[in-house]
Amino acid sequence: METTLRGVGVSHGVAIGEVRHMGTAVLEPPAKQITADEAEREQGRARQAVSAVAADLIARGQLAGGEAQHVLEAQAMIAEDPELMADVDRRIAVGSTAERGVYDAFASYRDLLAGAGEYMAGRVADLDDVRNRIVARLLGVPMPGVPDSDEPYVLIARDLAPADTALLDPALVLGFVTEEGGPTSHSAILARALGVPAIVALPGAGEIAEGTVIAVDGSTGDLFVEPTSAKKAELAAAAAERKAALAASSGPGATSDGHKVPLLANVGGPADVPAAVEAGAEGVGLFRTEFLFLDDSKKAPSEEKQIESYRKVLEAFPEGRVVVRVLDAGADKPLDFLTPADEPNPALGVRGLRSLLDHPDVLRTQLTALAKAAEGLPVYLEVMAPMVADRTDARAFADACREAGLKAKFGAMVEIPSAALRARSILQEVEFLSLGTNDLAQYAFAADRQVGAVSRLQDPWQPALLDLISMSAEAARAEGKSCGVCGEAAADPLLACVLTGLGVTSLSMGAASIPYVRATLAKYTLAQCERAAAAARAADSAEEARVAAQAVLSGE
């Protein structure tokens, strides 16, 4: 009998196949005591296992490339964290085995993260994955992961670590479903990059029996257990229609009546550029430069290294627009040389622009590197600051750009509700706004973007979030300036139409989503988008907003 479950759709497409479950978690190692004479040997075993796991994560990242590589390299840094290793050594010195020392040291650090505010607690899943890999290697047992199968299947897991998601084979893994996670989690972002249909935050999915046939609609978040032949045909027809629309869509982003909406790509570095170019991106709407800084958490990269990385991205879009976000460190992206170590809630502390203003030499070097990287190139460089709260922040950033001799437009990200409420004031100091909808939702609803339990409040269709977006777009229009969206909201084709109707002037997203958004925008006029936006804002919940917008656009 067909039943329907609903989670959060995070990657477009339809997958129909039998269920396979992720392997079981690593067992807790026994609390066996060792003698003092064995301590040195056990410490050596622990270090070898840690090095092997870090090397494996880096190798997986190099195989996957792009966004996945940056995420996995960050995980490798967690594995080799010197403070963690010092704790492991201490525990082994007083009698723990290597595997028990690792398990307990990671458990202690896990408790610290879990108690350091919800933003930092979002890193716990990554920490658990690194611990499991090290302990599995020490115990000599296989690391639980993607199941072996000769036939294609739909994967169900409590959560998926980036190391597993990055190397999914789309030829075998038709789609995946997780009980936890959120629309902006690492796994969701990587799923979109892979083009694998995916649903997250679906409690109870793990109870579906192995081998059961399910259908996953990554666009709507619907999961159909034992779908009927009619349902399969309906989903297949919808998928075929989407595929045909994608094939017919090309060129710049625009509504059916010619209103231009540039479609840009979110990139983390040069490795992400080929996919963006292939997808027809009209430029880069969010160049996340922090991944360059994560290579070494102890010091900032040299000016020369930064110039080399920036120039590779700028060269890929001659005559195009490239929007660079200066270093966004802090919260879930701590850097030893920049980030305070003792903040009770890092998400609400010194992060983003606040960190850079406290370390003007780091900001100055980055801005100077960007200025030199753009020399002689026919590119439209724009530079924006993360976590701008008010006009004072905007002025300080603009002054720093001018002092560095940067010949580019200066902008501010709208990620804090105060910036949306006072957008027109901020626009007296900068030339454009860019909405980071992930963080804007997090701060507007006090809902951590990494916590599946509050994913309802992270839904970008929330009418209150649409109100904040509308305020920002209206302020930009009044000042004759631009206002783009670079958060994950832009990757939802239907929501892209609503954002256009709200007055957003450009949309930036993962490269895999660009064809879907281009094809959908081309089906509707600007007036239809505006009516859909008004209907969505008049709703009282995210689901009602989505349904109302869909009804308008479908002519119901």
Catalytic choice (186, 359, 401, 497): 186
Give me 379's structure tokens: 């590119």
| Cβ neighbours of 456 (radius 10 Å) | 16
How far is CA 256 from each of CA 514, 519, 521, rounded to the nearest angstrom? 16, 10, 7
Nearest Cα to Cα of residue 510 among 216, 269, 272, 163: 272
- 483 catalytic? Reply is no
Nearest Cα to Cα of residue 5 among 177, 157, 153, 121: 177
- 186 catalytic? Reply is yes
| Cβ neighbours of 404 (radius 10 Å) | 18
Catalytic choice (401, 486, 497, 529): 486
CA 343: distance to chain centroid? 24
Could you tell me if 166 and 190 are in contact, meaning their C-beta atoms sit under 8 angstroms apart? yes
Cross-strand pairs, 520: none
* Residue 444 CB contacts under 8 Å (≥ 6 apart), including other chains: 417, 462, 464, 465, 468
DSSP assignment of 389-400 equals -SHHHHHHHHHH
E-only strand ranges, 372-486: 380-385, 409-414, 432-435, 482-485
To the nearest 10 degrees (0 to 180), the angle between helices 360-373 and 391-403 is: 60
Q: How far apart are CA 540 and CA 229, in angstroms?
A: 35
How far is CA 5 from each of CA 177, 222, 405, rounded to the nearest angstrom? 11, 6, 55
How far is CA 2 from each of CA 204, 205, 224, rounded to the nearest angstrom? 16, 15, 7
Active-site positions read 186, 486
